Each structure stands twice: as structure tokens, then as C-alpha cells.
Amino acid sequence: MSNDFTAEYPGKIIFGNGSMAKLAENLPADAKILLVTGKSFAKSSQMADLEHILANFAKIHVADIGHEAPVEDVERLIDIGRKKKISVVVSIGGGSTIDAAKAAAAIIPAEGKCIDYFHGKRKLFLKGLFFAALPTTAGSGAEITSNAVLTESQTKIKKSIRDSLLIADLAIVDPVLTVSMTQETTASSGMDALTQAIESYICGFANSVTMALAENSVELLIKNLVSAYNDGKDLVARNLVAQGSLLSAMSFSQSGLGAAHGLAHPIGSLLSVPHGKACAILLPHILDFNFEVCQGALENLAFKSGLENAEFLIRRIKKMKQAMNIPTDFSEYGLNPSHFEFILKNCKSRSMQTNPRKMSDKDILELLRKLCGKKSNS
Ligand SMILES: [Fe+2]
């Protein structure tokens, strides 16, 4: 645990059912908006509500950001932004849509292409365009974080552009926007939030603020995620899960993550596993690995969530996964030893370094063999 810390959040965070209605009054006057939404949101009835809310602003709408936020999609947004002299970027969608828009908002007024920042050849120096983020999923935390996770399609390399200049100016978390999430996305994004909260709590850079946020997040998600999965229209459960997700993001964005996230990125991009699902598959395995160094911390999380001890917490996570149809390994995604070299090479991110127990290459390979499932092991 760290006793010195700095916390950086969006300039304004608005939470509540129906809070999307507050978007217009919180945007700069005379904004020329680049509106980046998810595909399904663009076709939903909520899009009509948004059109109404933004009726007095000039805007260009883009609604086709690819899965895992491809760098070329960000280049396209930057191009539009520069040519059309956009002054504000508003993004409504899942983590990939928000991250692509976030990177574009920062780079539009800067120089160069997104790929230069992705490969660390350029660095941001000045604040980008005003950026507002409204998540339609409850899990990624992209509305809060200072990084944009992008994917280079050709190499399948998935990594972050990270800079406090990327932090949104305005985050509006409206649980009503999450009601139309499919069961699969509810499970995947919710388990992403839970993994983030737990990894934030046990990582070496946790502090009293991030731990308080993470504890509450874990409790909210453990108690309400399966209800939101079983009945997507249950607005009470949706609201509590959205709160859990927001607290998770406010926690991990100021501390760090762990090996579940370190491994979820290369496995997810290589085998096209949704990020949250990859996290959910990895989480119990990583907690088993970390157990000897963080049993006490897991015990605290268990007590807070009304569970008997750390083992019960891990057991509860496994039960939640089962209830939401999330597999225990990557066999159905075809993980096999031919993938190990790529995963090993691309998993050594900051998340891997902040894992509370050091994972050697041997440890990683041993876990990957287990994650191939019975078929590949026989
Ligand atoms: Fe995540």
C-alpha cells in the first residue's frame, strides 16, 4: 500500500438515472461536435433522445468504430476532426468506442498520427479538445481513465496510449443507457469491473482512497451483477452495477491492475475474446496464484461483501461466472501452445508489473497450459 498519492479525475462526473439529459448544459457554448457512438446505440430509441438533447449544436456523427478500437478508426476520427474544425468530442458507447474517441479528442489539435503516439514516437504536450464520455456498458471505466486502449489490426498488438491529458472533461454515467446491454455484454463488462476493483485493491500501488472505492465496488458487483444479468430491465440492479463500475474505475485508474489484465490483453486481441470475458476467465486463476501474498486483503473484500473468508470470495466469483455462462478456460477460443510465444511477448505491461506476486515466464506458461483446457492437455 502506498501512503503518498495523487488523484486525477474528469473535471466533472455526473451519475444518475436519466443524467444524459444534462449533457447539453455541460458542453461549451457554440461547440461543433464530433459525436462518436456505438453501432447499436445509433439505431436505438435513445439516439432520438440524444438528437433532441443536442439539437442546438452543429455535429457530425460517426457510429462504426470497430471492436477493440482499431488505430485506423482513430486516424479516421482525427482526419474528420481536423478537416471539419471540430471543437468538442462526445462519445457514447462501450469501452472501445469511448477509447477511440478519447484518443482522437487528444490528438486532433496536436501534430501527427495516432500510430505515432501508439508506438511512443510522439508525446502529447497540450490539452486536447473538450471530451465528454457517456458509457453504455458498466465495466470498462473508459469514462474515467487516463489511457486509451487501442489495437493495431495488422499485428494484433493491443496497448494503451497513456497520459493524464487524455482524461475526459466530463463523464456522465447514466444507468438507463445500460438497460439495452445484452446478457453477454452485461456479464463481460460487469466481470471486467469486478476484476479491476479486486486487482486495484490488491496491487502494490493501492492507497486508502483507491481501497475504499474498490471495497465498495466489489460489494456492489458481487451483490447485484447476476441480478442485472438475469433481468436487464431491473433498473435498481442496473443502477447499483453502474455505481460499482464507476467506483471500480475511480479506484484502478489511480492505482493499478494485475496479471488478469496483463494476460487478458494479448489473449483477447489474439483470439478475439471480449476483454471482460478474458478477465473473468483469468480472475480466479490469478487469485489462486496471488493467494499466498494477498489472503488478508481478499479476506477484507470477502467480509465487506458478507462472505466468510477469502476462499468463499473466490468460490463466489466462480459461481457468478457459472450463473452468467462464462467458461473456466480458453478452450472454446482455441488457445493452444502455438499462441504462447505471442502472449508471453505481449503480456509484460504495467498491469503485469503491478501484480502483487511476481509472475515468472515459467509461471505464465504453466497457467497458459492450464487455460488451454482438457483437450489441449491430453
Ligand atoms: Fe479491464
Percent of the chain with pLDDT over 90: 92
Cα of 26 vs centre of ligand 1, distance in Å, is 28
Cα of 263 vs centre of ligand 1, distance in Å, is 11
Q: CB neighbours (10 Å) of residue 83? A: 9
Cα of 118 vs centre of ligand 1, distance in Å, is 19
Cα of 113 vs centre of ligand 1, distance in Å, is 26
- Are 36 and 89 in contact by the 8 Å Cβ rule? The answer is yes
45-60: average pLDDT: 96
Residue 377 clears pLDDT 60, i.e. is over it: no
Residue 158 clears pLDDT 90, i.e. is over it: no
Cα of 242 vs centre of ligand 1, distance in Å, is 15
The SS3 assignment for 179 reads: coil
Cα of 251 vs centre of ligand 1, distance in Å, is 12
Cα of 55 vs centre of ligand 1, distance in Å, is 34
Cα of 87 vs centre of ligand 1, distance in Å, is 29
Cα of 218 vs centre of ligand 1, distance in Å, is 14
pLDDT tens-place string over residues 238-254: 999 999 999 999 999 99
Tell the CATH topology of 182-377. Dehydroquinate synthase-like, alpha domain (1.20.1090)
Cα of 186 vs centre of ligand 1, distance in Å, is 14
pLDDT tens-place string over residues 77-100: 999 999 999 999 999 999 999 999
pLDDT tens-place string over residues 317-338: 999 999 999 999 999 999 999 9
Cα of 197 vs centre of ligand 1, distance in Å, is 9
Cα of 59 vs centre of ligand 1, distance in Å, is 31
> What pLDDT sits at residue 375?
54
Say if strands 157-162 and 147-152 run parallel, antiparallel, or are unpaired: antiparallel
- Are 166 and 102 in contact by the 8 Å Cβ rule? The answer is yes
Cα of 200 vs centre of ligand 1, distance in Å, is 11
Confidence of residue 349 (pLDDT cuts 50, 70, 90): confident
Strands (E), the chain: 12-15, 32-37, 58-62, 88-93, 130-135, 147-152, 157-162, 170-173
> What pLDDT sits at residue 157?
87
Q: What are phi and psi of 151, to 5 degrees?
A: -125, 135
Cα of 199 vs centre of ligand 1, distance in Å, is 10
Query: Does the structural domain 12-177 have CATH classification 2.60.120.260?
Result: no
Cα of 140 vs centre of ligand 1, distance in Å, is 6
Range from 2-11, 224-233, 261-270, 280-289 carrying the lowest mean pLDDT: 2-11
> What pLDDT sits at residue 73?
97
Cα of 143 vs centre of ligand 1, distance in Å, is 12
**Which residues, in sequence order, are CB contacts of 90 under 8 Å at separation 6+?**
23, 27, 33, 34, 35, 36, 54, 101, 131, 132, 133, 134
Cα of 175 vs centre of ligand 1, distance in Å, is 19
- Are 107 and 114 in contact by the 8 Å Cβ rule? The answer is yes
pLDDT tens-place string over residues 113-145: 999 999 999 999 999 999 999 999 999 999 999
- Are 27 and 132 in contact by the 8 Å Cβ rule? The answer is yes
> What pLDDT sits at residue 376?
45
213-232: average pLDDT: 98
Cα of 9 vs centre of ligand 1, distance in Å, is 18
> How do the domains of the chain map onto residue ranges?
12-177, 182-377
Cα of 192 vs centre of ligand 1, distance in Å, is 5
pLDDT tens-place string over residues 16-26: 999 999 999 99
Residue 345 clears pLDDT 50, i.e. is over it: yes
- Would you say the CATH fold of 182-377 matches that of 12-177? no
Cα of 28 vs centre of ligand 1, distance in Å, is 31
Percent of the chain with pLDDT over 70: 99
